[in-house]
Structure 1
Amino acid sequence: MPEAPLSRGAHHPPTAVPRDQPPPAAARTAAAGAAAAGPPGLLTSLAPLLTEWLPRQRWFAGKGRAVTGFALVSATELLPWRASGGTPGLLHLLIRAEQPEPPGHRHGFGCGHRRGAAASDCYQLLLGARPALPPPLAPALIGRPSGGPLDGQTVYEALADPRLTTLLLERLRRPGRLGPLRFVREPSSAIPAALAPRVMTAEQSNSSVVYGDTFILKLFRRVSPGTNPDLELPLALARTGCARVPAPAAWFEAEPPAEGAGPRPEPFTLGVLQPFLAGSRDGWQLALDALAADGDFTDAARALGHTTAEVHLAMATALPTSVLRRPQIEHLAAAMSERLDSAAAAVPALQPYRTALHGAYEDLAELGRAGRTWAAQRIHGDLHLGQALLTGKDVGDEGGDAGGDVGGGGRWSLIDFEGEPSRPLPERRRPQPPVRDIAGMLRSFDYAAAVGRHERPQEWAGRTRAAYCAGYAEASGTDPRAEPELLRAHETDKAVYEVLYEARHRPDWLSVPMTAIRRLAAARA
């Protein structure tokens, strides 16, 4: 017999399934509280389906490790479903996926599990429920639960259903609370109703829905307590008047349940609604187009450098800054060295260059010991050509200006301030030297030159890198090339990361970062 319908806004303490041992008394009490808040059997009935479906999603971070169980953090019914009729239901879940601890895992930083316990990441799921799926929604199928409150329903990825993504926009248009979920809208934002939704297919670590070419909703899939930088930074920048970053119009978050006697965790940022820059093109495709046409990209790069500096200056005004002194600089260099050793152990091609690359980090540490200091502030954290959008310009137009825009009316904007999603959230929110962003963009120029098959890729990249740094210097008053040790250390660290990534995921691309490794090692020698 099907269990009772799920109560709206049910909020469960974390309860895991399956369990190998009977839970202790405290856990039985928590489970009883969960049953009182909502129907029993929800997670038990969904677990077999999610075990198959979740690892196949592009945004699932634990690929290559078995899912051993799930823990329900919260369940909220955004739209009730009926056993009969054509109205779909919409269920919002926060679920922890338990897996064997990955090698070299660092505890803390909001990782969500105790030392010695199974590793777990928390994921945001939006599930639709219908008695049967219409043919257009067939690719979104997750499965049919056996037992539990969804017994007899067909469960599917809700973002594929325009009726349900429209409902999500309505929740953002009308701020308020529903169970653990809180919907917020900026008072100055006007969000029209009835904007046709479409899901973007190019996402990797998150999911995005575009509404009528007017707004884009970015949904964070892997979440943790604390404000996501992709909300925090654009919101702070908007309040300084910086127009280089689309300002959040609305967002929603979840208040996690208290765990134990400690303080309640910070809310999870779940999604951010921002203006959609219709007609824009990202810098990666623009650079490849310029290369294919044997065109010059230096004006565009110079304007992009100017834009990067504008955003850095605005962040330094809007948010706290700090100074890196000897202890922090030595710690930074040591962390870079540790990452190099770990990567070299996994990728033997790095071994011949270890001594010279370590020397770049030692040069940085030595400057700290000599009394050199550097400013640290909030930064983008994962800046590359794909995170820069150009609007209102044909890539073939020539010219540029000192204002950071490209000739022909083109204007650069920066997006995706989440940072590297694989890094713990507190680490991504930590002040860092702005040169880390600059190093990421310089590496992106190298990638474009190689992928675009320029006959002299290092020459093209060199001109483009110089133009970008010159534009940055014009706007900031500080040329990143004037601190070669700091820039070389960060660029080396980024190239080492790229070597490890390409070796694991795209071995055919390994030659791109290895070319940079050889150049950086030779420069140090």
Structure 2
Amino acid sequence: MADTVTRSSTTTPGLLASLDPLLREWLPRQRWFAGKGRPVTGFTLVAATELLPTGSRLGLYHLLVRAHQPPTLGAPAQPGDCYQLLIGVREALPPRLAPALIGHVAEGPLAGGTVYDALYDLRPAEVLLEALRSRARIGGLRFDRDPDREIRSGLVPRMVTSEQSNSSVVYGDTFILKLLRRVVPGVNPDLELPLALAREGCPRVPAPTAWMHADLAGESYVLGVLQPFVQGAADGWELALRELAKGEDFVGEARALGRATAEVHTALARALPTVTLGQAQLQPMVDGMVERLDAAAQAVPALRPYVPGLHSAFAALADLGTEGQAWTAQRIHGDLHLGQCLRAPSGQWSLIDFEGEPARPLAERRMPQPAVRDVAGMLRSFDYAAHSADPPAPGWAEACRAAYCSGYADVSGVDPRTDPVLLRAYETDKAVYEVVYEARHRPDWLAVPLSAIRRLASPDQS
């Protein structure tokens, strides 16, 4: 095992002040910025770490900054989201780094320099991998790895440029490093659950090789996870769209994906505690669904005509709890959809990205929940894929939904469709979340969840 490398870190006084005007323009444009639609009014520096020695031709700073924004209408004031930034500084950017540009610093300690998102650059990406390989300690940053897993040096990095809610770097088709952008203190399920599944020997989730975190003022922030890269794997969303474009069905893959999901759920139930949800536990869960619906209706007027019918989905679930029905809750993926699944060239499906819905509080994302919530997310994803087809593919989503549930039952012994009230409630909750997301980020897609809303609000919905 490599010895742990420890070195102190210094940062330039006034660093954040010199970056402030540039970050106010650049940060809200990033796909992973959570506060869309509200201006950034300022920043607070949570931590700053210089990753290369002072005087290097390339400046490299790891920043955790809290972005302050005015609260949404009617919401209480919040402290602001904390973001992880890797800032590079050069005299000028070569053309290959043009997409990474943040701006030119006019004053302060970096005056005259050009700052950019350093994850696009080879050298900064190599610095991160070497820190993980050597289990480095740099200031408040901690880089750790599984001692039984080797990380070779010299792997060439490349930034993943597809749309993501975080950022990823692939190293030589061997590893992929996911850098969390919006970070919160505490145990992050994106590391916690894959580690638990690795201990169970579950082959459906790539086992973490290394991870980075920050220890600040008695709190720990998970910042990134390095996992094996599944070479030649097809993203489930892209694969589904390809099959749709060719006019092919996706039934076989959907069934296999259902089996993979059930295997992961079964392993999680073995690895971590499960609980029973009776009326006392169910009612707060239903209340949360109702509150999210009411808040969504305030934010998105197009949702309002369907609110009474959607309330009935949640009321039906509460009624079952009142009648004494109970459910098992366990740790789940929390944000399962086709884009969170990879199919290897061998045909093996893997599940990735266990962070959960980033907009929800960490404590909520780590709570045991009925496994049907993940199933509902995947069923919604089939619907999204079908609506993306041109021309539309009637019946495609319905066939995939049925095959997925059948595959799930093959492994778990329980078909999710045999609990229609619970499934409808979770599908409704997910569709409400989608309505708010699309209204804020992709208005052209709003019709997709609204079509599901119309179905789920129908009195004869089963």
TM-score between both structures, scaled by the size of structure 2: 0.93
Does residue 477 of structure 1 match 2:413? yes
1:435 equivalent in structure 2: 372
1:342 equivalent in structure 2: 295
Does residue 102 of structure 1 match 2:79? no
2:4 equivalent in structure 1: none
Does residue 444 of structure 1 match 2:381? yes
Name the Cα RMSD after superposition.
Answer: 2.0
Q: Show the 5 A alignment for 1:473-512.
A: 473-512=409-448
Q: 1:224 aligns with which of 172, 177, 184?
A: 184
Q: Show the 5 A alignment for 1:204-283.
A: 204-257=164-217, 264-265=218-219, 267-283=220-236
Q: 1:377 aligns with which of 306, 324, 330?
A: 330
Q: 2:245 aligns with which of 292, 295, 303?
A: 292
1:34 equivalent in structure 2: none
The CA distance in 1 between the partners of 2:257 and 2:278, in whole Å, is: 30
- Secondary structure of residue in 2 paired with 1:379: coil
The CA distance in 1 between the partners of 2:18 and 2:243, in whole Å, is: 53
The CA distance in 1 between the partners of 2:12 and 2:172, in whole Å, is: 37
The CA distance in 2 between the partners of 1:103 and 1:251, in whole Å, is: 38
Does residue 9 of structure 1 match 2:9? yes
The CA distance in 1 between the partners of 2:37 and 2:392, in whole Å, is: 38
1:466 equivalent in structure 2: 402
Report if the CA contact (8 A) 1:124-1:220 is conserved: yes
The CA distance in 1 between the partners of 2:157 and 2:142, in whole Å, is: 22
The CA distance in 2 between the partners of 1:147 and 1:8, in whole Å, is: 27
Report if the CA contact (8 A) 1:88-1:129 is conserved: yes
Q: 2:36 aligns with which of 49, 63, 78?
A: 63
- Secondary structure of residue in 1 paired with 2:124: helix
For the structure 1 residues 127 and 215, does the alpha-carbon distance in structure 2 shift closer, same or farther, using more than 3 Å as the test? same
1:400 equivalent in structure 2: none
The CA distance in 2 between the partners of 1:138 and 1:448, in whole Å, is: 33
For the structure 1 residues 104 and 275, does the alpha-carbon distance in structure 2 shift closer, same or farther, using more than 3 Å as the test? farther
- Secondary structure of residue in 1 paired with 2:86: strand
For the structure 1 residues 104 and 382, does the alpha-carbon distance in structure 2 shift closer, same or farther, using more than 3 Å as the test? farther
1:190 equivalent in structure 2: 150
1:412 equivalent in structure 2: 349
The CA distance in 2 between the partners of 1:90 and 1:129, in whole Å, is: 6
1:135 offset after TM fit, Å? Answer: 3.5
Q: 1:46 aligns with which of 8, 12, 19?
A: 19
1:352 offset after TM fit, Å? Answer: 3.3
**Which structure 2 residue ranges, 5 or more long, are not aligned?**
1-6
**Aligned AA for 2:44?**
A
Q: Show the 5 A alignment for 1:315-326.
A: 315-326=268-279
Report if the CA contact (8 A) 2:18-2:107 is conserved: yes
Q: 1:159 aligns with which of 119, 122, 147?
A: 119
1:104 offset after TM fit, Å? Answer: 5.1
**Which structure 1 residue ranges, 5 or more long, are not aligned?**
1-6, 11-37, 106-114, 258-263, 393-408
The CA distance in 2 between the partners of 1:166 and 1:479, in whole Å, is: 46
- Secondary structure of residue in 1 paired with 2:168: strand
Report if the CA contact (8 A) 1:181-1:252 is conserved: yes
Identity of aligned residues (%): 64
Q: Show the 5 A alignment for 1:12-27.
A: none
**Aligned AA for 2:450?**
M
**Aligned AA for 1:162?**
L
The CA distance in 1 between the partners of 2:100 and 2:306, in whole Å, is: 47
For the structure 1 residues 71 and 223, does the alpha-carbon distance in structure 2 shift closer, same or farther, using more than 3 Å as the test? same
- Secondary structure of residue in 2 paired with 1:375: strand
**Aligned AA for 1:421?**
P
The CA distance in 2 between the partners of 1:148 and 1:502, in whole Å, is: 39
The CA distance in 1 between the partners of 2:434 and 2:401, in whole Å, is: 18
Does residue 92 of structure 1 match 2:62? yes
The CA distance in 2 between the partners of 1:300 and 1:135, in whole Å, is: 41
Does residue 199 of structure 1 match 2:159? yes
The CA distance in 1 between the partners of 2:356 and 2:208, in whole Å, is: 17
Report if the CA contact (8 A) 1:223-1:269 is conserved: yes
Report if the CA contact (8 A) 1:282-1:388 is conserved: yes
Which deviates more, 418-427 or 152-161?
A: 152-161
1:8 offset after TM fit, Å? Answer: 4.4
**Aligned AA for 2:405?**
C
**Aligned AA for 2:254?**
A
Report if the CA contact (8 A) 2:244-2:393 is conserved: no
Report if the CA contact (8 A) 2:52-2:60 is conserved: yes
1:112 equivalent in structure 2: none
Write out per-residue CA displacement over residues 98-153 of structure 1, whole angstroms, 9 at most, x where no aligned residue: 11122354xxxxxxxxx65x541111111112333334334423334355443443
Report if the CA contact (8 A) 1:381-1:428 is conserved: yes
Report if the CA contact (8 A) 2:145-2:209 is conserved: yes
**Aligned AA for 1:431?**
P
1:499 offset after TM fit, Å? Answer: 2.5
Bigger radius of gyration among the two:
1
**Aligned AA for 2:23?**
L
The CA distance in 2 between the partners of 1:150 and 1:175, in whole Å, is: 30
1:310 equivalent in structure 2: 263
Does residue 121 of structure 1 match 2:74? no
Report if the CA contact (8 A) 1:380-1:417 is conserved: yes
TM-score between both structures, scaled by the size of structure 1: 0.82
**Aligned AA for 1:414?**
L
Does residue 426 of structure 1 match 2:363? yes
For the structure 1 residues 104 and 440, does the alpha-carbon distance in structure 2 shift closer, same or farther, using more than 3 Å as the test? farther
1:391 equivalent in structure 2: 344
Q: 2:140 aligns with which of 177, 180, 184?
A: 180
For the structure 1 residues 478 and 181, does the alpha-carbon distance in structure 2 shift closer, same or farther, using more than 3 Å as the test? same
For the structure 1 residues 73 and 462, does the alpha-carbon distance in structure 2 shift closer, same or farther, using more than 3 Å as the test? same
For the structure 1 residues 363 and 76, does the alpha-carbon distance in structure 2 shift closer, same or farther, using more than 3 Å as the test? same
Report if the CA contact (8 A) 2:290-2:311 is conserved: yes
1:512 offset after TM fit, Å? Answer: 2.2
The CA distance in 2 between the partners of 1:176 and 1:456, in whole Å, is: 52
The CA distance in 1 between the partners of 2:25 and 2:215, in whole Å, is: 28
**Aligned AA for 1:354?**
V
For the structure 1 residues 200 and 151, does the alpha-carbon distance in structure 2 shift closer, same or farther, using more than 3 Å as the test? same
The CA distance in 1 between the partners of 2:236 and 2:248, in whole Å, is: 14
Which deviates more, 337-346 or 87-96?
A: 337-346
Write out per-residue CA displacement over residues 478-507 of structure 1, whole angstroms, 9 at most, x where no aligned residue: 111111110011111112222233333333
The CA distance in 2 between the partners of 1:434 and 1:291, in whole Å, is: 28
1:17 equivalent in structure 2: none
For the structure 1 residues 155 and 519, does the alpha-carbon distance in structure 2 shift closer, same or farther, using more than 3 Å as the test? closer
The CA distance in 2 between the partners of 1:129 and 1:353, in whole Å, is: 51
- Secondary structure of residue in 2 paired with 1:75: strand
- Secondary structure of residue in 2 paired with 1:251: strand
